[in-house]
């Protein structure tokens, strides 16, 4: 970006919504991954027209534009890999409509996930995906990454709730996709072309989301197992039983040890734990499903089974799972946090395989995740200042991705490709699929101005 470009951006959004100060640029070099690259300027647009004007300018002057929400990407998704402008959408944060009868809300992309939940809860409704970063992440980021979360096994991911979008295309044209109806098959599914496209095909400026009634009853239980494999088999047995828990989380022995030793949590010294929640309109419905789960745990040799008897006990069971990532992160200055996912039947193989791989490199690691949809979070701690650790963490990642794909899995269940998984895309996708993705990118963004360098699309 030259001085004219910067002045032009400043003119579009106003001086109060523009910065090229060093402190802002350093801040915008990062997201929640271990990638970074410094941008040349940052803007906080407040209207769709401003976004459109910026993209027209970027196309004319050929500077990169990286759209950004709260910056919680664990894949380098919002790191401005080729410099240019960071387009921070957090000031477009109005909730434009809440319509309970139509079961939908209309929001700007900068609305924080938790703020929407707070508004919906008193009316008995929710937007279910429940990403771990829900307290800070934005709905725009959820949509751009098709964010999953802790209730995915039963309630699906962001994609399942996006009815319609307003999108600014890379050339500055504004379009509306989808429909505010509960269903529509009118033309190609442009909405889902943009959902999960990680800001490389357009900038999402308005989102219509389907909302769901909040379950009225739930049951929560925690079980521990002597081996990770036993826990994995219990998960597949639950899937086979026909019960669909609203939560089915797993923690490995390293996670449990870190939570005991660093997190000061009162957990048994076991090798694997599962956290399960069932729900429904009625307590009987939640009980029926939990009874099936408990039967499976008993037959599967669970060492302990703790049923929460009160809201406080539910919170106590949840505390461990919620703190797993941040507590483990304290072990070394940097960490690689992945979200490999496999078909359910392959979960035991992935669990034991990851442990075998990372142990071989002598780095501290934990594995936890959303077992109910086959999505594991191996988190490997390392110190970037030690070249050997850097080499080893990348070798471990290479092997984990190769193992995952050999098990019929996917590189990323919910974090997105970004920079982190870009080099591995060929492991999962055939050459024709990759070329199709690249040709769609070239079709919409021939000058490659939108979030360049991501998803292995630049050829």
Binding mask 196-215 for its own copies (x = CB under 8 A): xx---x----------xxx-
Choice from 82, 345, 352, 448 touching its own copies (CB under 8 A): 345
Choice from 72, 254, 255, 289 touching its own copies (CB under 8 A): 289
Closest CA to 379 of 257, 223, 254: 254
Q: Is 146 an interacting residue with respect to its own copies (CB under 8 A)? A: yes
Closest CA to 45 of 70, 24, 67, 62: 67
Q: Which stretch binds its own copies (CB under 8 A): 22-30, 66-74, 86-94, 402-410?
A: 402-410
Q: How far apart are CA 231 and CA 225, in angstroms?
A: 6
For residues 130 and 407, the answer to whether their CB atoms sit within 8 Å is no
> Which is closer to its own copies, CB of 29 or CB of 352?
352
Q: How far apart are CA 360 and CA 399, in angstroms?
A: 11
Q: Which stretch binds its own copies (CB under 8 A): 188-196, 262-270, 296-304, 324-332?
A: 188-196
Going across the sheet that includes 41-43, the strands are: 18-19, 41-43, 85-88, 65-68
Q: Is 448 an interacting residue with respect to its own copies (CB under 8 A)? A: no
> Which is closer to its own copies, CB of 280 or CB of 364?
280
Cα-based angle 129, 422, 37 (whole degrees, multiple of 5): 90
Q: Which stretch binds its own copies (CB under 8 A): 81-89, 296-304, 322-330, 439-447?
A: 439-447
> Which is closer to its own copies, CB of 92 or CB of 143?
143
Interface with its own copies in residues 364-393 (CB under 8 A): 373-375
Q: Is 105 an interacting residue with respect to its own copies (CB under 8 A)? A: no
Q: Is 180 an interacting residue with respect to its own copies (CB under 8 A)? A: yes
Q: How far apart are CA 83 and CA 40, in angstroms?
A: 6
Choice from 130, 412, 449, 452 touching its own copies (CB under 8 A): 412
Q: How far apart are CA 320 and CA 268, in angstroms?
A: 12
Q: How far apart are CA 347 and CA 413, in angstroms?
A: 13
Q: What's CA 30's distance to the chain center, in Å? A: 16
Q: How far apart are CA 459 and CA 457, in angstroms?
A: 6
Q: Is 406 an interacting residue with respect to its own copies (CB under 8 A)? A: no
Residue 194 Cβ vs its own copies, minimum distance, rounded to whole Å: 9
Q: Is 74 an interacting residue with respect to its own copies (CB under 8 A)? A: no
For residues 411 and 425, the answer to whether their CB atoms sit within 8 Å is yes
Interface with its own copies in residues 222-261 (CB under 8 A): 236, 239-240, 242-244
Q: How many residues line the site for its own copies (CB under 8 A)?
A: 90
Closest CA to 129 of 148, 144, 101: 148
Interface with its own copies in residues 8-67 (CB under 8 A): none
> Which is closer to its own copies, CB of 229 or CB of 383?
229
Choice from 66, 246, 341, 451 touching its own copies (CB under 8 A): 341
């Amino acid at each position: 970006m030259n001085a004219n470009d910067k002045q032009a951006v400043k003119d579009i959004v106003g001086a109060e919504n523009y910065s090229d100060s060093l402190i802002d640029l350093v801040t915008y070099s990062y997201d929640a991954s271990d990638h970074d690259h410094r941008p040349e300027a940052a803007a906080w647009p407040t209207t769709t027209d401003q976004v459109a004007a910026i993209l027209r300018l970027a196309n004319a002057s050929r500077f990169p534009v990286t759209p950004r929400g709260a910056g919680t990407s664990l894949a380098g998704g919002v790191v401005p890999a080729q410099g240019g402008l960071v387009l921070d959408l957090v000031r477009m944060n109005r909730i434009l409509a809440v319509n309970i009868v139509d079961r939908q809300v209309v929001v700007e992309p900068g609305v924080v996930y938790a703020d929407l939940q707070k508004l919906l809860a008193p009316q008995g409704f929710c937007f279910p995906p429940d990403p771990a970063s829900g307290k800070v992440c934005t709905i725009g980021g959820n949509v751009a990454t098709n964010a999953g979360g802790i209730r995915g096994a039963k309630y699906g991911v962001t994609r399942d709730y996006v009815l319609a979008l307003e999108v600014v295309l890379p050339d500055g044209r504004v379009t509306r996709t989808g429909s505010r109806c509960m269903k529509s098959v009118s033309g190609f599914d442009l909405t889902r072309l943009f959902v999960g496209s990680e800001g490389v095909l357009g900038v999402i400026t308005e989102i219509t989301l389907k909302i769901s009634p909040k379950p009225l009853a739930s049951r929560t239980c925690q079980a521990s197992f002597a081996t990770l494999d036993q826990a994995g088999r219990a998960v597949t047995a639950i899937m086979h039983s026909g019960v669909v828990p609203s939560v089915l989380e797993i923690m490995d022995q390293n996670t449990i040890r870190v939570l005991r030793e660093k997190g000061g949590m009162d957990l048994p010294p076991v090798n694997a734990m599962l956290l399960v929640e069932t729900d429904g309109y009625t307590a009987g419905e939640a009980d029926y499903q939990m009874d099936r789960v408990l039967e499976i745990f008993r037959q599967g040799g669970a060492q302990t089974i703790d049923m929460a008897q009160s809201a406080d006990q539910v919170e106590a069971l949840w505390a461990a799972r919620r703190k797993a990532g941040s507590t483990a992160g304290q072990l070394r200055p940097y960490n690689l946090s992945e979200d490999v996912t496999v078909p359910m039947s392959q979960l035991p193989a992935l669990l034991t395989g990851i442990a075998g791989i990372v142990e071989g490199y002598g780095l501290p690691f934990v594995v936890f995740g959303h077992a109910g949809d086959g999505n594991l979070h191996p988190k490997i701690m390392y110190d970037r200042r030690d070249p050997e650790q850097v080499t080893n963490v990348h070798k471990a990642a290479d092997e984990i991705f190769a193992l995952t794909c050999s098990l019929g899995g996917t590189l990323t269940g919910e974090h997105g490709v970004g920079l982190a998984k870009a080099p591995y895309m060929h492991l999962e996708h055939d050459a024709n699929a990759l070329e199709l993705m690249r040709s769609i990118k070239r079709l919409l963004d021939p000058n490659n101005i939108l979030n360049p360098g991501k998803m292995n699309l630049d050829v």
